[in-house]
Amino acid sequence: MRRSIFISGAAQGIGAAIARTFYQQGYKVGIYDINEASAQHLAAQLGNHAKAGKLDVSDYAQWQNALEEFSAWAGQLNVLVNNAGILYSGAFEKTDIQAHQRTINVNVNGVLNGCHAALPFLKQASFARVINVSSASAIYGQPDLISYSASKFAVRGITEGLDVEWQKYGIRVLDVMPLFVQTAMVTNMDAASIQNIGVDLKPQDIAEQVLKLVQSKGTLFTQTHHPIGLKTKIMYQLSSISPQIINRLGNIFLSRK
């Protein structure tokens, strides 16, 4: 039986790159997105082993329906990728509170909903893994990206906790932590850090890392967090060995306009 992967926010950007990569590896691919038309278009491009559907990740009932539909079609659910996310940038006080709240609802509740709704299906599979798309913004709180950064800290915490808790089911829960990626999300982003750091990563870079994590054996020594790109790896390592004041000063420097 072909293994299967269910990807939220899969109609474009990182999610679409993951879908294409796993389809080429022989997986049955679930392309689910709030933009159903784009999801259906991508599934038609890929072929018969791709299935698309609508999914608002902030709606738990939609998660339940989508996962039940996909699992019945695929035969089993092996890999869940929580990729869907949104980003609002700019000064905290100049961003509408509704935008901050929506970021948390999609980026945090979307992951909670996905993991919770998927567990019954993952437990039934012969092999199961969860990959959450986090961010380098979860290394240290980012100015001009307050709610986005906070949401990715939450994803980091969810990943760490479930990676331990779900050992009893034989399910590893891992995340990828890219810096800025060349997608529509960062177009016209109002944050000095993007100008100072640059956008070096492509969606395919993240897709390839997700594939490596799924293909790995997932031993006790497999890391939970996986920074992507040299700059992110340096930031991640420095954050673990340098005093908090150094981390803060570094982020002040990077956010200078």
DSSP 84-133: ------S-GGGS-HHHHHHHHHHHTHHHHHHHHHHHHHHHHSSS-EEEEE
pLDDT of residue 133: 97
pLDDT of residue 20: 98
CA torsion, points 192, 177, 212, 172, in degrees to nearest 10?
-170
Determine the angle formed by the axes of helices 109-124 and 60-74, rounding to 10 degrees.
30
Nearest to 200 by CA among 186, 185, 181: 181
The burial of 36, by beta-carbon neighbours within 10 Å (0-12 exposed, 13-18 middle, 19 or more buried), is given as middle
Residue 23 known to be catalytic: no
Check 23, 148, 169, 236 and give the catalytic one: 148
Give the domain range for residue 162. 4-254
Where do we find the tokens 């902030």? 58
In single-letter form, the type of residue at position 88 comes to Y
Contact 115, 173 (CB under 8 A): yes
pLDDT of residue 130: 98
Any residues with CB less than 8 A from the CB of 121 and at least 6 apart, and which?
67, 68, 71, 76, 77
pLDDT of residue 183: 52
Q: What is the CATH number of the domain that holds 228?
A: 3.40.50.720
**Both structure tokens of 225:** 């967090």
**pTM for the full model?**
0.87
**126-160, pLDDT tens digit by residue?**
999 999 999 988 888 888 899 999 999 999 999 99
pLDDT of residue 121: 98
Q: How many folded domains does the chain comprise?
A: 1
- Three-state SS at 82: strand
Residues of the chain under the 50 pLDDT cut: 190, 192-194, 196, 198, 246-255
